Amino acid sequence: MALLKQAVITGASAGIGRATARLFVAKGWKVLNLSRRPCDVEGVQNLLGDLSERAHTDEFAEELADVVADVDILCLIHNAARLEKDSTIDIDHRRFEAIMRINISVPSSINRILIPLMREGSSTLYVGSTLSEQAVPGALSYVVSKHALLGMMRATCQDLANQGVHTACICPGFTDTDMLRTHLGNDPETMQAVADMSAFSRLVKPEEIASTLFFAANTPAINGSVLHVNLGQVGK
């Protein structure tokens, strides 16, 4: 009898999350999108709402538990994130805290709900960033949150030792998403300059991140690993 496999993906309505949902569905997995907007990939179930508010409620926990009740293998993918322009000297702390809620507190809350329900062979995957280990000017809250997310993955690895559940942090380089284009002002010259920072002189495709996430979900041997998917970054 075939195993029932379920992926739960935060922020699967666009970009990396949507590409990942499409791939997992194509591979025969059930997929649940957790976000404010629905995922339009056929076969994806949507549980909609503001995760920064809903993820901490008992109602949300019950809804998630119902979805995964009969699942043999569960893959939880923490993908949802906010990216805003800010810096050490001009940070608005209310916005900083809001970004920390979606980028850090929400993954922690969903872990608390779903990890106790995971069976052997399941996984918790974190979508980090090149900025999980580096920094650039003008992205303080994002850099801080992605460093913290990498730390959460490493703590998860230690806390789940001997439970048959694996974890990893997939760190995309500059990826061709609406979030990146908006952050760069949709300026073609700036986009090309960023693309030229890779050894292939192009942006990473969301589908390339999705393929790496699918590999990680099916490869317990990478437990605790940081997987950089950036086409090889080079100095210019």
Give the domains, in start order, of the chain with CATH numbers.
5-229 (3.40.50.720)
The share of the chain scoring above pLDDT 70, in percent, equals: 99
At residue 55, the pLDDT reads 79
The share of the chain scoring above pLDDT 90, in percent, equals: 77
Mean pLDDT of 16-41: 97
pLDDT confidence bin for 235, thresholds 50/70/90 = low
Instruction: Give per-residue burial for 136-165: e unless 16+ CB within 10 Å, then b.
Output: eeebbbbbbbbbbbbebbeebbeebeeeeb
Closest CA to 149 of 170, 165, 122, 163: 170
Question: Between residues 126 and 185, which one has the greater pLDDT?
Answer: 126
Is the pLDDT at 2 greater than 90? The verdict is no
Is the pLDDT at 236 greater than 60? The verdict is no
pLDDT confidence bin for 206, thresholds 50/70/90 = very high
Tell me which amino acid residue 146 is: K
At residue 129, the pLDDT reads 94
- What is the pTM assigned to this prediction? 0.94
Mean pLDDT of 135-162: 96
| pLDDT one-digit tens code per residue, 70-104 | 999 999 999 999 988 899 999 999 999 999 999 99
At residue 191, the pLDDT reads 81
At residue 141, the pLDDT reads 95
Report d(CA 46, CA 158) in Å as an integer: 31
